[in-house]
């Protein structure tokens, strides 16, 4: 089965091999060396001044960010399920919360955020997705962060980059907390979350909040290449292997370049066969199509062509489908996916198959590649 869901993503064979070695005890020099190297590679990936790894899924890092970085009121940006989650976390902890809510295809505007911040002096943290995976949209995170810092540089900018870190370069100049998760762009099994922190964020964390998700106790330990509680050893071994694998494949710039080309070629190919991109501003992590036959197409892909793509959630169930673009993806697999979507449209009697999708995909991918080289 070809796994083309925007999380979990397939784990490369070399990384699975690395994770199949004998169990290492977490309080040993052997594991601390692995931890140190993974940490160094994360500094390179995130570009932030501090890094913390947590044994949890991405949501745990979202929770840690909110509880440790917001003291008064959280402004959360809700253009989908994951933005909504930040508000739910605040609520669970009795942290005051205001929300900017938009339809799932629409990113929040810089203006909306600026107005909200200016009209409420209690807001001391903003939480936003870089890519809101519910509808595959790219928020104006960098622009929003820059505008907010001009108003009040004390406001913490929490950016959920779970489907953006490892997908495209992110300008972290005005970001205080950048979150990543193992099973999306990092191509690992679920269970490891990462937070990159600015110096200002580390200062604000001070003694930290909570117990398991107390970032102060983790920072203290992780600076010494260990963790407050048992480390997710296998996943951290996998992370070291994965980030090394990306390096061997040409590094982050090549990964970003290939992802960008593949996403663009996908979009052109699917538009050429009459399909409609859902978000107003599409992220590169996934290609999201709005279509009345979304579920039929997914079913045909799975049953006839052994390709697993994702559908929509909540009110978008049955209305959209999402194709993953995150990670090291072979171009022939990506070309095959658009080809099979065209075959599915034929099976549904919507459009006679003439190999347009794969042709356009190949032309776009290889032509764009030429221009940029
Ligand atoms: C997947 C995802 C998460 C976190 O999900 P977990 O299931 O907790 O790992 C958070 N934000 C975004 C944007 C995501 O895509």
Question: Mean pLDDT, to the nearest integer, of 168-193?
Answer: 98
Decide whether 12-248 matches 251-372 in CATH topology. Answer: no
pLDDT score of 369: 77
For residue 7 and ligand 1, the question of a CB distance below 6 A is answered with: yes
Centre of ligand 1 from the C-alpha of residue 29, in Å: 32
- Sign of CA pseudo-dihedral 256, 262, 267, 272: positive
**Residue 116 pLDDT > 70:** yes
For residue 5 and ligand 1, the question of a CB distance below 6 A is answered with: no
Residue 6 has which token pair?
Answer: 């925007």
**Residue 372 pLDDT > 80:** no
Q: In the predicted model, what is the mean pLDDT of the chain?
A: 97
pLDDT score of 373: 57
- Pick the residue whose CA is nearest to atom 5 on ligand 1: 58
Centre of ligand 1 from the C-alpha of residue 82, in Å: 7
For residue 82 and ligand 1, the question of a CB distance below 6 A is answered with: yes
Neighbours of 58 (CB within 10 A): 26
For residue 57 and ligand 1, the question of a CB distance below 6 A is answered with: yes
- Pick the residue whose CA is nearest to atom 4 on ligand 1: 58
Cis-peptide into 229, omega within 30 deg: no
Centre of ligand 1 from the C-alpha of residue 298, in Å: 22
For residue 160 and ligand 1, the question of a CB distance below 6 A is answered with: yes
Q: Does domain 251-372 have CATH number 3.90.1150.10?
A: yes
Cα 206-211-216 angle, rounded to 5 deg: 25
For 278-359, strand residue ranges (E) read 286-290, 307-308, 320-324
Q: Assign 327 a pLDDT band (cuts: 50, 70, 90).
A: very high
- Pick the residue whose CA is nearest to atom 3 on ligand 1: 58
Break the chain into its structural domains and give their ranges: 12-248, 251-372
pLDDT: is 367 or 147 the higher one? 147
For residue 325 and ligand 1, the question of a CB distance below 6 A is answered with: no
102-112 pLDDT, tens per residue?
999 999 999 99
Of 203, 233, 198, the closest CA to residue 216 belongs to 203
**Residue 51 pLDDT > 60:** yes
- Residue that the structure tokens 């809510």 belong to: 101
Centre of ligand 1 from the C-alpha of residue 97, in Å: 20
Centre of ligand 1 from the C-alpha of residue 364, in Å: 30
**Environment class of residue 256 by beta-carbon count within 10 Å: exposed (0-12), middle (13-18) or buried (19+)?**
middle
- C-alpha 191/C-alpha 8 separation (Å) is 11
Task: Give the CB-side neighbour count of residue 233, counting CA atoms within 13 A.
Answer: 16
Residue 226 has which token pair?
Answer: 């260990």
C-beta separation of 46 from 172 below 8 A: yes
For residue 163 and ligand 1, the question of a CB distance below 6 A is answered with: yes
For residue 59 and ligand 1, the question of a CB distance below 6 A is answered with: yes
CATH top-level class of 12-248: alpha beta
6-27 pLDDT, tens per residue?
999 999 999 999 999 998 999 9
**Residue 42 pLDDT > 90:** yes
For residue 162 and ligand 1, the question of a CB distance below 6 A is answered with: yes
% of the chain surpassing 90 pLDDT: 98
Question: Mean pLDDT, to the nearest integer, of 191-220?
Answer: 98
Pairing of β 320-324 and β 286-290 = antiparallel
**Residue 262 pLDDT > 90:** yes
296-324 pLDDT, tens per residue?
999 999 999 999 999 999 999 999 999 99
pLDDT: is 225 or 370 the higher one? 225
Residue 149 has which token pair?
Answer: 């810092």
């Amino acid at each position: 089965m070809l796994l083309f869901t925007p999380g979990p993503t397939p784990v490369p064979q070399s990384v699975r091999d690395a994770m199949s070695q004998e169990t290492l005890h977490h309080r040993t020099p052997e594991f601390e060396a692995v931890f140190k190297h993974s940490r160094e590679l994360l500094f390179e990936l995130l570009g932030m001044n501090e890094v913390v790894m947590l044994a949890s899924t991405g949501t745990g890092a979202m929770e840690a960010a909110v509880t440790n970085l917001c003291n008064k009121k959280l402004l959360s940006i809700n253009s989908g399920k994951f933005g909504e989650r930040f508000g739910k976390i605040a609520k669970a902890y009795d942290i005051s919360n205001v929300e900017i809510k938009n339809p799932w295809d629409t990113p929040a505007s810089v203006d909306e955020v600026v107005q909200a911040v200016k009209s409420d002096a209690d807001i001391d943290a903003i939480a936003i997705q870089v890519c809101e995976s519910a509808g595959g949209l790219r928020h104006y995170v960098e622009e929003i962060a820059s505008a907010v810092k001009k108003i009040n540089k004390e406001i913490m900018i929490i950016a959920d980059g779970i489907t953006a870190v490892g997908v495209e370069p992110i300008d972290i100049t005005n970001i205080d907390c950048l979150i990543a998760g193992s099973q999306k762009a990092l191509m690992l099994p679920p269970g490891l979350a990462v937070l990159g922190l600015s110096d200002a964020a580390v200062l604000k964390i001070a003694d930290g909040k909570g117990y398991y998700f107390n970032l102060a106790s983790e920072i203290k330990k992780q600076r010494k290449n260990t963790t407050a509680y048992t480390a997710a050893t296998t996943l951290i071994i996998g992370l070291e292997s994965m980030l090394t694998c990306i390096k061997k494949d040409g590094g982050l710039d090549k990964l970003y370049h290939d992802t960008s080309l593949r996403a663009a070629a996908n979009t052109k190919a699917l538009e050429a066969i009459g399909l409609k991109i859902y978000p107003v501003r599409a992220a590169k992590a996934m290609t999201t199509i709005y279509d009345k036959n979304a579920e039929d197409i997914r079913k045909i892909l799975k049953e006839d062509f052994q390709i697993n793509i994702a559908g929509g959630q909540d009110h978008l169930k049955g209305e959209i489908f999402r194709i993953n673009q995150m990670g090291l993806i072979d171009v022939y697999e990506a070309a095959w996916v658009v080809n099979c979507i065209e075959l599915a449209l034929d099976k549904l009697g919507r459009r006679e198959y003439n190999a347009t999708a794969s042709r356009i995909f190949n032309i776009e991918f290889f032509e764009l590649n030429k221009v940029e080289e």
